[in-house]
Each structure stands twice: as C-alpha cells, then as structure tokens.
Amino acid sequence: MFDSIRETIDYAVENNMSFADIMVKEEMELSGKSRDEVRAQMKQNLDVMRDAVIKGTTGDGVESVTGYTGHDAAKLRDYNETHHALSGYEMIDAVKGAIATNE
C-alpha cells in the first residue's frame, strides 16, 4: 500500500504501470482474487454507482427508507440547470453524482 500519491506515481514510473494497473494489483494482493475477478467486481461496483446516479437524478430522485433524507441530488440537478454556480457546471455535476450515489 502507498502512503502518498507521490509514492504511487514514483512506483508507476519505475515499473511502467498505469495507475489503474497498480490499483488492480493492490486489490489482487489484498483480496487473493485473480485479475479477472477483481475487474469483474470493479465493473459490478461501477454499474451499481451508475444506476444510483440515474435513479438519484431522475424525476424527484430517491428518498431514504425513513424518509428523513433524500432528493438532494435531484435538487442539485435542478439548481444546476437554472443557476450559474461559482465552481462551474462540471463541479456541481460531479457533486450531484456523488450525492446521488450516496443516497
């Protein structure tokens, strides 16, 4: 495991590896799974996150089981469509996706 991004970059340069390859290698070592198993799990996780973004930003969004939280990604989507945020559209869009994934 690496303690800093600098260590990760140095390792990548020294070993002629991409950041993605380093992370897959790390996960293989930590989990004992094969490269194909790790990549399959990563794809499944990505699919779940993409679905969460779609659900969280479509219509009214999603609500927690208790009903106390939710709909924030949809609210941010609506805001981003009608206002100009100081941080720009891309930043708000990224935050919207993160909130939708969390919801």
User: Which tens digits make up the pLDDT trace of 9-19?
Assistant: 999 999 999 99
* Structural domain of 3: 1-32
Predicted confidence (pLDDT) at residue 95 exceeds the cutoff of 90: yes
Predicted confidence (pLDDT) at residue 67 exceeds the cutoff of 90: no
Distance of alpha carbon 24 from alpha carbon 2, whole angstroms: 14
44 and 81 part of one domain: yes
Q: How confident is the model at residue 93 (pLDDT cuts 50, 70, 90)?
A: very high
SS3 29: helix
What's the total number of domains in the chain?
Answer: 2
* pTM of the model as a whole: 0.75
Contacts of the segment 66-70: beta carbons below 8 A, 24+ positions apart: 69/103, 70/103
Q: What is the length of the chain?
A: 103
Position 8 scores a pLDDT of: 94
48 and 65 part of one domain: yes
53 and 28 part of one domain: no
Q: How confident is the model at residue 64 (pLDDT cuts 50, 70, 90)?
A: confident
47 and 64 part of one domain: yes
Contacts for 54 with CB less than 8 Å, ≥ 6 apart: 100
47 and 21 part of one domain: no
Average pLDDT on 92-97 reads: 94
Mean pLDDT of the chain: 94
Distance of alpha carbon 76 from alpha carbon 62, whole angstroms: 13
